[in-house]
Amino acid sequence: MDKIKKGLGRGLSSLIGETKVEIQKNQLAISELIPNKYQPRKIFDETSMEELSNSIKERGMIQPIIVRKSNENKSKFEIIAGERRWLAAQRAGLHKVPVVVTEADDLKSLEFAIVENVQRHDLNPLEEAQGYKRLIEEFSYDHEKVSKFIGKSRSHITNSLRILTLPEDVIKLIETQKLTAGHAKILVGLNNASFVATKIVEKKLSVRQAENFVKIFKNKKQKSNISKDTNIIALELSVSNIIGLNVEIKNNKRNKGKISFEYKDLDQLNKIIDIIKSHY
């Protein structure tokens, strides 16, 4: 049992210890297993699934699937944790898979599934935060217990949960993976999170560029009581990213103004001149 537990992760090992291990079989036929009706994750990434399937083909299935006897079908075993591995094993052409059979009621089965999901490495930041939230609200975990089970720092858990405070439209962008975990961290706590998120997607800004955009936006607001048009700020950032120099655009209500390029040495000045010459 110790060898099996090593592959399960601290959280799942602890949960197995809290439930009675009724039978332990090294192998069960794939056809004997059925999905977990409490599986909180309904969509499995196709690329990730293909990678896991190829890994199983090459090295076999190292981590066992945790199952319980099905109440609906006495000849079957319901998957408590490991549905993704079960699906990948089918793709890989396996006929049998390693399992741990345990007794668990419906509530414990859901807890198993949530803990396994939040221990995965390919979750988007929203799925991760939602998993932590469910453990806290539905199973009375505190941040310390989540940290201990998942094997991540308490500050990571707290910061992850802050993502759920973002506006609904921003959460949707994270959910559809148009924004990364790095982008999400920048957006937490911003009053204009929706605007910044829109610009990140629109301009395809990297995390570093998004950080610069937020800094520029804040600096412009501090310098003047009259806030500059946000589209002008976005344009400044866009040009700065392309040429690698600070750019300031002053535009009045009649759409007249000037563009200033900041250079720090002769080489940077020559770069500006070369860019202008090459286009005119």
Question: Among all residues, which ones are annotated catalytic?
Answer: 83
Closest C-alpha among 201, 198, 182, 19 to residue 110: 19
Collapsing DSSP to helix, strand or coil, 257 comes out as strand
Tokens 């759409």 label which residue? 255
Cβ-count burial of 172 within 10 angstroms (0-12 exposed, 13-18 middle, 19+ buried)?
Answer: middle
Q: Whose CA is closest to 259, among 239, 230, 244, 280?
A: 239
**What are the Cα distances from residue 266, in Å, to 243, 248, 260, 275?**
15, 19, 16, 14
82 φ/ψ sector (left φ>0, alpha ψ -120 to 50, else beta): left
CA distance 88 to 90: 5
Judging by DSSP bridges, how do beta strands 99-101 and 65-69 pair with one another? Answer: parallel
* Burial of 129 from C-beta contacts in 10 A (0-12 / 13-18 / 19+): buried
**Which uninterrupted H or E stretch holds 234?**
helix 230-243
In b/e form, how buried is each residue of 83-108, taking b as 16+ CB within 10 angstroms? bbbbbbbbebebeebbbbbbebeeeb
